[in-house]
Amino acid sequence: MIVQVFFWLFATLLIVSALLVITLRNPVHAVLFLILAFFNGAGLFLLAGAEFLAMTLLIVYVGAVLVLFLFIIMMLDVDFDELRARFSRAAPLGLLVGGVLVAELVFVFMAWQPSPMAEKLRAAPVAEGITNTEALGRIIYTDHVFFFQMAGMILLVAMVGAIVLSLHHRKDVKRQDVAKQVARQRKDAVRLVDVKPGQGL
């Protein structure tokens, strides 16, 4: 009973906040509702018994990715009137692209047939006495470790690529060298001088 109440609560809030994400004018509010949507998604995962996925969703998306999202969007200086004007100009094109996508999805789902293997896998019994964190760990890190490593390599290449693209080292600015600062001694920098009155240095 309680599970059902919470399911409807999470599901309704998820859909409402997802709708608000794309309809709200203020982008910061939209991101905040995106956070709420993720939160409810995590709640649904919890109800389905996937507590590890729920927590990972919160840690990775809400705790890190959306913080950076918010960080960027808060710094944008958005002119709402201009945005609205541009929206009405771009609306026909957007509708066209959206319509094409919907049509494609409809075709895909009409032709789609689940493989008999998938049905068997879904019916496979869950091993007793294993939490789903352990089960996930076995699948990812033991059974399919090669694919995991491959995904890791692709991500690494993407990371290096992003850094190479965005890093340009300017030569004309003065940079701080921490090692040099720490190595600096008093005797290199300070000198005690006994100045005679009226003479100066």
Which residues, other chains included, contact 73 with Cβ-Cβ below 8 Å and sequence gap of 6+? 27, 28, 31
Judged on CB neighbours under 10 Å (0-12, 13-18, 19+), 33 is buried
> Which of 17, 35, 40, 43 lies at the binding interface for another protein (CB under 8 A)?
35
**Identity (one letter) of the amino acid at 53?**
L
Cβ proximity to another protein, 96 vs 145, nearer residue: 145
Q: What are phi and psi of 26, to 5 degrees?
A: -80, 120
Looking at residues 100 to 159 of the shown chain, list those that interact with another protein (rule: CB under 8 A): 131, 133
Q: Are 67 and 59 in contact (CB under 8 A)?
A: no
Residue 44 in contact with another protein, rule: CB under 8 A: no
24 binds another protein (CB under 8 A): no
Closer CB to another protein, residue 14 or residue 31? 31
Matching residue, tokens 């201009």: 82
* 201 touches another protein (CB under 8 A): no
Residue from the set 19, 67, 78, 154 that interacts with another protein by CB under 8 A: 67
Q: Does 32 bind another protein (CB under 8 A)?
A: yes
- Cα 51 to Cα 3: distance, rounded to the nearest angstrom: 15
Count of residues touching another protein (by CB under 8 A): 24
Among 20, 44, 56, 148, binds another protein (CB under 8 A): 56
Helices (H), the chain: 2-23, 27-47, 51-56, 66-75, 80-111, 116-123, 132-137, 145-166, 178-183, 186-189
Work out whether 30 is an interface residue with another protein (CB under 8 A). Answer: no
Would you tell me which residues interact with another protein (CB under 8 A)?
1-2, 28, 32, 35, 51-52, 55-56, 58-59, 62-64, 67-68, 70-71, 74-75, 131, 133, 176, 178
